[in-house]
Amino acid sequence: MSSENKESWGSRIGLILAMAGNAVGLGNFLRFPVQALQNGGGAFIIPYLVCFLLMGIPLLWAEWAMGRFGGKHGHHSTPFILDAMDKRRFWKYMGVFGIFTNVAVAAYYCYLESWTMSYVYHSVAGTFAPMSSEQVAAFFDSYVDVKTSTTGLPYEPIIFFVLCILLNTWILSKGLSGGVEKASKIGMPLLLIFGVFLAYKGVTLQAGEHGAQFSGLVGLNFLWTPQFDSLANPQVWLAAAGQIFFTLSVGMGTIQCYASYVRPKDDIALNAMSAGWMNEFVEVVLGSAILIPIAVGYLGIDKVIEMTKSGGLGLGFRTMPYLFQQWGAIVGAMAGVAFFGLLFFAGITSSLAMGTPWMGFLQDEFGWKRERAAWSFGLIVLVLGLPTVIFFQEGVFDEYDYWAGTVSLVVFALAESILFAWVFGMKKGWHEITQGADIEVPTVYRFIIKYITPALLLLVFLGAMFAPASGNWSEAIGLLFSGKGWALSDGAIFAKLFNQDIYRQIEVATDSATKDALHTKLWYVNGSRLLLLAVFVGIAYLVYLAQRKRKLQQA
């Protein structure tokens, strides 16, 4: 079956920037510094780099190789890329994850991305200038509660969400070289410029300057002071593996899709390394030099420790706008635009990548034109994403993030690593990685890709399924062998599946109003899961129709 999909990359630098943009996301600046802080500070970089070398780079090479191999056969989406590698039906439908994950993640990720657009607007408009720290925090709480939002424009979250989707869709409709590549060539350099500016402001912050309690270096030292005893904790290694896994955007199908447009004999080994190390630079160097140093400088270490317990979003959106205003109206506005601007560029270069697998599938299998495929993606993301906007407080956003943005990625990455190394086979797989390579790939990676990487992915998957309530694996294993059972964390897959956290809250609730609210939340949580399942089944049915269409054409 010949495809009408004639997309291609315009330049090597455009491809690398687009791949790096796919990996560089909001988590580089909001999630990584908090993860490092919570898991051993400077010592965290040891398991982090080990996992990058043993899991990150191998997965990048494998996914690039799979994508280019599929592209040779005219496939630009994971169901038929995997089908080209092994004809058993199972793999084609496992490849549905590579389309589903992108559609589902884009639905809530574009909403998160739209927050940054709104905050750039409010930074320019001076909205935060007269506000106290409590008022800035209340602004965010009001913003995400659409039904009672009083942040400015009527239905402002919906307006910016729609604008964000329209911008993404318009860029996607211009194609790879005319849209995605151009956006990456603009967005990635601006992201780096904004990041360097903010990192400079963070590390040069002086105690007593503009009301700061400490210098920025205190925050940087606090972040990177090594706690070497953490290296003996399995939870720290799982956290490092998880951070590498999610920061590189592996297990989504976007890398395979981008790589499928590479010419058959073009290098992928050096391209993958370049995109991967650019992501690491942005995350480790810039990501660690902005949020924590500035926050510690103004709030002190104890306050920051308390705030990071709920992750990086609180610091990013509920706190940073107030801290920037301490630098004066003009510099504060510039800092706000730079910070939320870099978050926006980090977000949009990732969300653009999420649209390409869906578009490639429709163009390949049903002959859709690029523009029609792009706008269909925008429509699906709008419809699927509106519940995350309107019912954010009811937990719909979090459910999408957990099942589509976490569990699906781990499942698909584990499956594709087994397919590449054990089913397709390392002999053919190694040939794909090294063919046309501009660097000499160390032969030790042949062993790593076949044995170490799948084993690490299996550990991440099992860790996600059976995460202990205490967070301490050594302690949990000791309790299990002493006959005291295994208490699951509320974030473990099995616990989430059966709504352990909500039922526990219902049990301890003392008033009927709280119980009723929690029972209502159960409806929204379970409803959002059914909606995601319906999307997955719908995509699987389209894959089935595409396969039937292929058979009819071959008959």
How does residue 152 score in pLDDT terms, banded at 50, 70 and 90? low
Query: pLDDT tens, 174-228?
Result: 998 889 999 999 999 999 999 999 999 999 999 988 888 999 999 899 888 888 8
Query: pLDDT tens, 357-367?
Result: 999 999 999 99
| Residue 214 DSSP label | S
| 290, 336 contact by CB (below 8 A) | no
* Distance between CA atoms of residues 151 and 141, nearest Å: 10
The two tokens of residue 226 are 């090594």
DSSP, residue by residue, 344-383: HHHHHHHHHHHHHHHHHHHHHHH---HHHHHHHHHHHHHH
* Distance between CA atoms of residues 411 and 488, nearest Å: 20
Assign 3-class secondary structure to 9-54: CCCHHHHHHHHHHHHCCHHHHHCHHHHHHHCCHHHHHHHHHHHHHH
How does residue 47 score in pLDDT terms, banded at 50, 70 and 90? very high
pLDDT score at 9: 84
The mean per-residue pLDDT over the stretch 506-521 comes to: 91
- 34 phi and psi angles, rounded to 5 deg: -70, -40
| 366, 546 contact by CB (below 8 A) | yes
* Distance between CA atoms of residues 202 and 290, nearest Å: 5
Show me where the domains of the chain are located.
Answer: 12-465+498-554
* Distance between CA atoms of residues 207 and 209, nearest Å: 5
Query: pLDDT tens, 379-417?
Result: 999 999 999 999 999 999 999 999 999 899 999 999 999
- 290 phi and psi angles, rounded to 5 deg: -115, -70
How does residue 238 score in pLDDT terms, banded at 50, 70 and 90? confident
Angle at 488 between CA 411 and CA 400, to 5 degrees: 45
H-assigned helices in 435-511: 444-447, 453-465, 473-481, 493-497, 500-508
Helix (H, G, I), strand (E, B) or coil at 468: strand
How does residue 151 score in pLDDT terms, banded at 50, 70 and 90? low
Q: Between 3.10.100, 1.20.1740, 1.20.120, 3.40.50, what CATH number should domain 12-465+498-554 receive?
A: 1.20.1740
